[in-house]
Amino acid sequence: MTTVEMTRFRVSAERAEALLAARPAMLRDFQADRAGFLEARLIRLSADEWLDIVFWGSAADFAESRRRGADRPGIQTFFSLIDAVISVEEGTTTESAGC
């Protein structure tokens, strides 16, 4: 099973383009420096609300990433554009990839 992080957050409509522009550098930092990072999907729910779904190899990988926070430039830039975190949830997949 894979651990899934679901973070719902707000970004003002005026900063949405900057958020999207910062996303590739954040993902590169995660790929280069976060053990167990598998992939991430960013979903725009409304003009100012977003859902980031991140897949981790294990709950320990996710916990370590949370502990480290925005410790790399690309991650820091992306996080700095978030106005408010609404919720963070953790779950596990129940299906194999490709189903």
What are the structural domain ranges in the chain?
3-91
Provide block-wise average pLDDT over 10 residues at a time, the chain (99 residues): 97 97 98 97 97 97 96 98 98 74
Confidence (pLDDT) at 99: 42
Cα distances (angstroms) measured from residue 48 to each of 6, 72, 84, 87 = 17, 25, 10, 15
Cα–Cα distance, 34 to 25 (Å, whole number): 13
Cα–Cα distance, 64 to 9 (Å, whole number): 21
DSSP lists the bridge partners of residue 32 as none
For 3-91, CATH number? 3.30.70.100
Predicted TM-score (pTM) of this structure: 0.91
